[in-house]
Amino acid sequence: MKKITLSFALCAGLFGCTDKPTETPVSTESQPTTTSEQIPSNLPSDAPVVRVVTSGVLPPLTFLDEKGTLTGIDVDIIHAIGENQGFKVELHKELFVDMLPGLESGKYQAVISGLSPSPERIAKFNPTNAYLQNPSVIMHQPNLTVTDVASLKPLRVATMKDTTQEKLINELAPASHEAVETVFQLYQGLIQQKYDAVLQDKYFLEHIAANYPDYQMNVVEYDKTPNAADIVIYTQKGDQELLDKINAGIDNLQQSGEIDRIISKYLTVPTAN
């Protein structure tokens, strides 16, 4: 178990805030999108270009900054892979539901947006090796003892709607269960002591936690299934050359520590065992 420190001081202690964070409008038309800090390239001008798509709505993996440019862990990683393997990245932003159809049609050559290697996706596309691990976690009040999902049975629990966590808690049937629309609502209810525990993916929770250092909560990783936390990039079926390049880039970046450096750029959460 580890502790993560949280604060909502920047949002009037969470008590005067709206239930939903401001959302950036998503265009229905895809255009090549500039990336935060205009990531420099050392590649020659005639280097091959790979069309990559991301959703831009999943901080800290992929999102728009205050200037409206794409940034995040996924954005930095795909550019670093391209630099390592000799191809430039033409990054596009699409609606989440349109990314994989765009890959299937040939509009894009790769998709990176916090995607897991599900059987349905693998049947249609080539998954790369895992480049990140994003496990599901339980965040709970520090005065409670929580070791696994079963220990949530007597507690007040919240999840997000239409998620694997919601299905899991519905099956458990705890003392109470509320399904909400946003990660912010999970935090708000936890800090207001409306909930004893909430379930979500690690990076999405830590992204908020990194900004709010006043409230202390405990965090438990609960899904120990092999590969359950894997996050992959998808390429088209038959494009073995690009798949091999991306896998080689992932391997090189992992061995050099570059992926860890990128993660720490966006997630600087104080933790204690």
Average model confidence (pLDDT) across the chain: 84
Backbone angles phi and psi of 52, in degrees to 5:
-120, 140
**What b-and-e string marks burial along 125-162, b requiring 16 or more CB atoms within 10 Å of the CB?**
bbbbebbbebebbbbbbeeeebeebebbeebbbbbbee
* pLDDT value for 33: 59
CB atoms within 10 A of CB 52: 27
DSSP 11: G
| Cα angle, residue 15 at apex, residues 65 and 140 outer, rounded to 5° | 80
Cβ atoms of 219 and 146 within 8 Å: the answer is: no
What span, in angstroms and rounded, lies between the C-alpha atoms of 27 and 30? 7
3-state secondary structure of 55: coil
* pLDDT value for 23: 36
- CA proximity to 164, closest of 133, 136, 123: 136
What span, in angstroms and rounded, lies between the C-alpha atoms of 244 and 233? 12
- pLDDT cut 90: percent of the chain above it: 55
Distances from the Cα of 130 to the Cα of 182, 249, 254, angstroms: 26, 12, 10
Q: How far apart are the first and last CA of the chain?
A: 6
* pLDDT value for 91: 95
| Token pair belonging to 5 | 């420190």
Token pair 């690690």 in the structure block, residue: 202
DSSP H stretches of helix in the chain: 73-85, 96-105, 119-122, 164-172, 183-191, 202-209, 240-256, 258-266
* pLDDT value for 211: 72
Given a cut of 70, the residues of the chain with pLDDT beneath it are 1-38, 268-273
Distances from the Cα of 37 to the Cα of 68, 82, 213, 242, angstroms: 12, 17, 26, 26
List of residues 6+ apart from 252 with CB closer than 8 A: 84, 258
